[in-house]
Amino acid sequence: MKEAILFDKLNNLKVRCNLCNHRCIIPPDSFGICMVRQNKQGTLYSLVYDKIVAQHIDPIEKKPLFHYYPGSKSYSIATVGCNFRCKFCQNSNIAQMPVDKGMIVGDNISPEQIVNSAKKSGCKTISYTYTEPTIYYELAMETGKLAHKEGIKNIFVSNGYMTKQAVDMSADWLDAANIDLKAYNDKFYKEICNSKLDFVLDTLKNMKSAGIFIEITTLLVPELNDDKKELQKISSFIVNNLGPETPWHISRYHPTYKMLDRNSTPVKSLQLAREIGIKTGLRYVFTGNVPGDDGESTFCYKCGYPVIKRFGFSIDSYEIKSGNCPKCGVKIDVIE
């Protein structure tokens, strides 16, 4: 347990958490919506500061980040908990554990130990992933600052619900993020995720302004967020606010958790969404959860040459030369 950051003390020993955009007002002995931050007599505490529930060495492509140190390994960690209630949660066994089972579990591992493990493993980055990193921000921040001293970069895989205060506080140690832009309609966010779209859009713009490298993921769910006009809105937002060089990952949905009432996303729907993104002006649009699809690879946006060929999370060939396409010479927007 560790005293939280970014909270206000209110009357009657209540507190307001300012870490995510729920901005929970929490009475004494109660919890925020994430269920891992508790008010104890007028002071907010993180209950997961040193409770690591997952540690793995992953390909960075699994985050997914395709244009940030492609082909490298990322030391990936998580605690339990989330500030969303997505009915299709892909990691519900740990993300929703505090809500569904009333449990907070994990091994006591310090930021120093995480950084040492990442360094020994030869990973270029540490990813705060699997669950929502915002809810274990104190751990991520302390780990991230130590990581920078060792030349290791930091990545958030997040739902994008951080407040501007939290984004600003992250600017000097958070290097990259893959943010879920789950839909472009408030009804989806409210009914499926228990959140609001506008806050996610604000976070994306704030991260871009802070100089954090961004890639976007949209899990395409049949009949909920796969309308052509909605996909056009998502891709237009990315082009106009984050830049045409921003990679957009369109991932295939499979029935899980509380949303077992619909089929997996047709591959044709993913391919159509990719076409929409490219026609809107995005340079790099990828299909996810479809190993072997052409949409896994990076193509030069000028001449169409496949500069990075992928299968799943593996790179089959890498032909970028000094940051440029080997065929036409145009700059490819990849951090190597």
pLDDT digits (tens, 9 = 90+) for 250-297: 999 999 999 998 999 999 999 999 999 999 999 999 999 999 999 999
Euclidean distance between CA atoms 319 and 200, whole angstroms? 35
**Pairing mode of beta strands 306-311, 2-3:** unpaired
Is 307 a domain residue? no
Distance of alpha carbon 198 from alpha carbon 216, whole angstroms: 16
Pair 67, 42 in one domain:
no
pTM: 0.96
Do 111 and 235 fall within a single domain?
yes
Domain residue limits at 288: 51-296
Same domain, 74 and 135: yes
Summarize pLDDT for 232-245 with one digit per residue, the tens.
999 999 999 999 99
Q: Are 287 and 274 in contact (CB under 8 A)?
A: yes
The whole-number pLDDT of residue 141 equals 98
- Does residue 140 share a domain with residue 194? yes
Same domain, 69 and 33: no
What's the pLDDT score for residue 1?
86
Tokens read off for 222 = 């049949």
Cβ within 8 Å of residue 206, ≥6 positions away:
162, 164, 167, 168
Is pLDDT above 90 for 169? yes
Residues in the chain: 336
Say whether both 155 and 175 belong to one domain: yes
State residue 296's pLDDT score. Answer: 97
Do 35 and 65 share a domain, yes or no?
A: no
Q: For residue range 16-52, what is the model confidence (pLDDT) as tens digits? A: 999 999 999 999 999 999 999 999 999 999 999 999 9
